[in-house]
Structure 1
């Protein structure tokens, strides 16, 4: 029994201790689940060496709980909780505190749940919790900030009007049961969120908060280096003031779809050039099936991409480019099971044939697919992923567990996403029975489909019609499938286990000169107890980066190879092996990761295919068109994304605009491609990095293959990778886009490459960012996307200030950033010695902390190798430079940097043409 801050006696009930919670053998954290006296359930996570602490609160209230006459209210409430409490009324205070102590924060509003979370330096956890937990019992809802935050909600809405997924989502809502809460408008805008005669908007927020935000509807996670008892005390102290009960149990009685909304075909016109076919089956809710994961099993069978699969059959007919299965919306009383296909130009003419093939394959599953061994094989791959998972970051784990505790039994709070107890045939048969034409919705997305309706909120043009009787007849009696079910997976026949440990493992990667033009870096590393490995093969290929035509050709070559390898290596992917092949500034990189015993084997398989590539002219054409379409749609992307891409082109040598690449690729014929693609690899140098539970002698066959394939040449000229100086670029660039928003990026570049400059730019980003956000976003409400970014390029630091707006033009945005710069002396005066010290120490800790996973260590070491940091000391040297930096020196250098215009460029995005509804 303890006493809280109000002097009230309180206690918590232990629901489960660590040994009662199912967790991965690699998970060294300790857990406890408690229930506070107000009914809030809390997951406590002790991580002894954690430098930071995290907290999350999940509430069983989302946009489904919005009043019908105030749609978007839950979303507005999420925004408002950050903007002041009775104890801490400053609307920017929470963000400043979290940022000043090395942390980050965020929140989201879903359909039936909302989630709030933050990460902060561990020794400031209690102070951060004091600010955070007050969101849930003493929010201010200050009227002046409601008005301002409404502009943010409106900006977010305007931003998403051009988002294809959001537009499709809203058409989905418009064609669902209007009495089901899914049909409501979730984001909200200035039209739906208004004062009403019966209640002001502030009163509506307060009513929603009091009805739904209470401890018994909340789950909480506290994670940090504090002991479990200390975390329990923090939970009691900070969460006990949250009132216990509020609304009654809430559930949805209405079906998601009315009878006339099933057995239908929906047509939708996208803004971008797209060809997509989505076959959707309406299933009942699946929350009660999490222990068996029947839909995951069915999705595995339908979405399989190996030899003779449904995907393989449809691809070989040149009807589709991709297929995925199992996705779709889900909630307490519904689940959409989607089969989502990207069509080729030819495939647009064969939609009914494609759907018939789908039903043929579903019939094949009925007849041959309900086998225990297939389920068991799927379970093995999932359990392997669980048993040998890399520990998630605290900032990711806390919000995940908070949501999991809302859905799963307490003992499954970690394991629930992986639990597969066995094949439950009645559930399989129930779901397969739902996969019939009368229970199907077919959505075809293309610019030329016939439409007669316009969705009023996002303005999407669409149509919905019943399937024709002839279609239903055909789908109900499909011919036998020409596809086959997956065979036993050879990669799942081997147990995951460690290899023999060497006598004297190295602490850092060791360089081995295998051949004059082939260098191998190797580090045997099982610190993380992972029988896994990462293999990077970097190919320095002067011909790939010689010009934009060669680079476009190389990109298409990579796409063809990935497409070719996808089928051959799909079983490996299911078993946890992953690979990627991509062109970059020096040539190409192949990255392979997964169970260590199979990484060399998979590398040899991939190199054999790359050495002797085969592909059909039709497949070449399909992928060429897909790539060109993707590149040409860049002008429709968020203006900030396009500006970041353009900045990369301006600064980075051997980098080309996607618009330029599309134009070059359009001119390349199949014959020219076949003739020119082999020249990409002549001559070459190779730099390879093997890391993890892998021995050097396992790589010998790979060395031989590379030597046989490539024309290795040690005398290649050095490739200049240094970024352009801003003094050599146009001071201001104006880019035309086809998106209605305006955007501006202001770029500052360091004068030198010294580590002191890198440390300075990191500090500026951490200290200035919350002030920039507060002024341009919170106070001026210029746009939804506002911030700063630290961007190092070949050890030359850059600092980016960015804003995107649907409210004002780029001239206004540019002026607002300039005004912020003009006031920099006042901004710097606001930085107190205590805050500076906290941020400086936090950065030093982040730079010198131990790696948290094998993956993060591999990425760090490979980055160091490619940037010639061969003693792997750069991060430590930056930390040492930060140790020497004083507040006065920081302010002096920052003011000089921002007031000097020679090291600054501005990129602006201006809409010239866009397809947007009135």
Structure 2
């Protein structure tokens, strides 16, 4: 029965998976353009499903901020087949399950888990979200309050506030600058005052964007692949294909008018942060080379000669994180974020100088095959021995990855690197110039010194042009002799064979050291047989 709806199949042998992964996979492309990954795991204690729609709040109508998020909420509140608003949630909770969803800039992801024997009933209810949601007037009027409550919860969260400020300070005509959560004002009060029917807008959004050809479905169950195919495919084969083109933003939201800016921000909590950001191209098409990962590996290194090591030696920072940061299809960012000490707050320019001196060292040294190989080997090791994820987390993640990778590479794509392309690494590094940067400084020291309040979260901030004299200083700062490439890592393993044991391990942990200060217990693994160790410390 299912075969009539299937355009093509990718069997388990053609899907690159971890050598330790005992699950069976099959990838499907249906006649309606939907891509599906089925996972058979006879040992699972939960079944799960996730649908990722490759559309998010960046496609909200300009006059209805938060509509995509509101649409996500509304799909839980009744369908033509299951009209009772809580039918889906009730069925899941009665059978050991749960559900949730999220909306990001370019994705809306719905997911659930349930006791394995009830997967068919859950999928039947779940599939109706994408076939015939009701969007009733009463539910629409009521659910806007739930969206508003969710937004209220985030209003005092510094990560949410700072992320929105970073977006607000991009090109205001770009979709990236939008406010994605929505609230009572944007989804009820203001639309009503303007004569806009929000329910009609929800229906239009769902009808216009919830197209099968931009949906990715992942289902995990105890059943065999054949049984899962017959269970899943008929339920979603009739989701309509409207041939929606996945949005792509060729223009970066940080243009010339947004570069060379510094923003001073007052946080809610007593935190001190410095973030340096540069606009870069979308690096995902180059995932087999992964130039952003290569540079992030170096910039975020913590050993001798690293940027962090030098900054910590001077007492200016506690932590540093550097690397590529997602934007949306068509653009990305490269960021260096540091957690400042109190003294570090007084050395912002010096920290930025050291950052550019580190970049200058990388440019002089050029891309190195051995560094790429270390990144490649570490990533391959992570993939080979990655732990078994919880079903709900796994299906949620994979459903989103279906849009980014071919079905044969959907499991391995985020990990495996195979192509050393030094020109690409150099191209990204060349984008990290002083006259292209944006700086965000977050500290309580700016209280009563700012002059702007961010529209959506009420964040107090001020923004200034970076002085040309500073741009020139950073452009000509040269190198610092303390900043060097990391030493070669001699501890990356290549032989993963387990040592043969002459005696069977003890069934319980054994006390192998007992002193006045220390007790050391040891238990030899006799179950997982992986080249991993687990170490726990308890200080009394």
2:533 alignment partner, SS class? strand
In the TM superposition, what are the counterparts of 1:709-788 in structure 2 within 5 Å? none
User: How many Å separate the matches in 2 of 1:293 and 1:255?
Assistant: 20
Per chain length, whose mean CA-contact separation is higher, i.e. which structure has more relative contact order (CA < 8 Å, sep 6+)?
2
User: How many Å separate the matches in 2 of 1:377 and 1:186?
Assistant: 39
1:398 to 395, 398, 421: 395
8 A contact 1:280–1:336 mirrored in 2: yes
Deviation of the 1:485 alpha carbon: 1.2
| Structure 2 residue aligned with 1:222 | 219
| Structure 1 residue aligned with 2:504 | 504
- With over 3 angstroms needed to count, the CA separation of the structure-2 counterparts of 1:172 and 1:160, relative to structure 1, is same
2:54 is aligned with 1:65: no
2:325 alignment partner, SS class? coil
8 A contact 1:511–1:519 mirrored in 2: no
2:172 alignment partner, SS class? coil
8 A contact 1:60–1:218 mirrored in 2: yes
1:443 to 437, 440, 443: 440
User: How many Å separate the matches in 2 of 1:251 and 1:431?
Assistant: 20
| Deviation by residue 1:85-113 (Cα, 9 ceiling, x = unmatched) | 11212222211211111122111101111
| Structure 1 residue aligned with 2:342 | 345
2:271 to 265, 271, 274: 274
How does the TM-score come out when normalised to structure 2?
0.95
**CA RMSD between the two structures:** 1.8
Structure 1 stretch 196-205 or stretch 258-267: which is displaced more? 196-205
In the TM superposition, what are the counterparts of 1:549-628 in structure 2 within 5 Å? 587=540
User: How many Å separate the matches in 1 of 2:433 and 2:168?
Assistant: 23
2:8 is aligned with 1:14: yes
Structure 1 stretch 439-448 or stretch 527-536: which is displaced more? 527-536
1:254 alignment partner, SS class? coil
Structure 1 stretch 510-519 or stretch 56-65: which is displaced more? 510-519
- With over 3 angstroms needed to count, the CA separation of the structure-2 counterparts of 1:339 and 1:514, relative to structure 1, is closer
8 A contact 1:369–1:485 mirrored in 2: no
| Structure 1 residue aligned with 2:477 | 478
User: How many Å separate the matches in 1 of 2:513 and 2:368?
Assistant: 49
| Structure 2 residue aligned with 1:701 | none
8 A contact 1:212–1:246 mirrored in 2: no
| Structure 1 residue aligned with 2:254 | 257
User: How many Å separate the matches in 2 of 1:537 and 1:162?
Assistant: 34
2:284 is aligned with 1:287: yes
User: How many Å separate the matches in 2 of 1:66 and 1:516?
Assistant: 64
1:193 alignment partner, SS class? helix
8 A contact 2:510–2:523 mirrored in 1: no
User: How many Å separate the matches in 1 of 2:520 and 2:367?
Assistant: 47
2:320 is aligned with 1:323: yes
2:225 is aligned with 1:200: no
2:231 is aligned with 1:234: yes
In the TM superposition, what are the counterparts of 1:555-704 in structure 2 within 5 Å? 587=540
2:354 is aligned with 1:357: yes
1:78 alignment partner, SS class? helix
| Structure 1 residue aligned with 2:159 | 165
- With over 3 angstroms needed to count, the CA separation of the structure-2 counterparts of 1:498 and 1:93, relative to structure 1, is same
| Structure 1 residue aligned with 2:108 | 114
8 A contact 1:26–1:529 mirrored in 2: no
User: How many Å separate the matches in 1 of 2:501 and 2:31?
Assistant: 50
| Structure 1 residue aligned with 2:244 | 247
How does the TM-score come out when normalised to structure 1?
0.56
User: How many Å separate the matches in 2 of 1:57 and 1:383?
Assistant: 28
2:424 to 409, 427, 442: 427
| Structure 1 residue aligned with 2:530 | 530
2:46 is aligned with 1:52: yes
User: How many Å separate the matches in 2 of 1:31 and 1:204?
Assistant: 38
1:306 alignment partner, SS class? coil
8 A contact 1:75–1:188 mirrored in 2: yes
Deviation of the 1:447 alpha carbon: 2.2
| Deviation by residue 1:372-430 (Cα, 9 ceiling, x = unmatched) | 00110111111111111122221111111111110012211000110211321111111
8 A contact 1:302–1:325 mirrored in 2: yes
Deviation of the 1:538 alpha carbon: 3.1
User: How many Å separate the matches in 1 of 2:139 and 2:501?
Assistant: 60
User: How many Å separate the matches in 2 of 1:460 and 1:111?
Assistant: 21
| Deviation by residue 1:484-513 (Cα, 9 ceiling, x = unmatched) | 21001122155333121344344x424447
Deviation of the 1:14 alpha carbon: 3.2
Structure 2: give runs of 5+ residues left out of the alignment: none
2:40 is aligned with 1:41: no
1:94 to 88, 109, 115: 88
User: How many Å separate the matches in 1 of 2:145 and 2:49?
Assistant: 29
Matched residue count: 533
Deviation of the 1:444 alpha carbon: 1.0
User: How many Å separate the matches in 2 of 1:217 and 1:179?
Assistant: 25
- With over 3 angstroms needed to count, the CA separation of the structure-2 counterparts of 1:356 and 1:156, relative to structure 1, is same
Q: Which has the higher helix share?
A: 1
8 A contact 1:210–1:246 mirrored in 2: no
| Structure 2 residue aligned with 1:307 | 304
User: How many Å separate the matches in 2 of 1:349 and 1:510?
Assistant: 51
Deviation of the 1:247 alpha carbon: 3.4
User: How many Å separate the matches in 1 of 2:223 and 2:197?
Assistant: 44
Deviation of the 1:464 alpha carbon: 2.0
2:139 is aligned with 1:139: no
8 A contact 1:509–1:521 mirrored in 2: no
8 A contact 2:248–2:328 mirrored in 1: no
Structure 1: give runs of 5+ residues left out of the alignment: 4-8, 540-586, 588-918
| Structure 2 residue aligned with 1:213 | 210
| Structure 1 residue aligned with 2:490 | 490
User: How many Å separate the matches in 2 of 1:322 and 1:354?
Assistant: 13
Structure (1 or 2) with the larger CA radius of gyration: 1
| Deviation by residue 1:727-784 (Cα, 9 ceiling, x = unmatched) | xxxxxxxxxxxxxxxxxxxxxxxxxxxxxxxxxxxxxxxxxxxxxxxxxxxxxxxxxx
Deviation of the 1:349 alpha carbon: 1.4
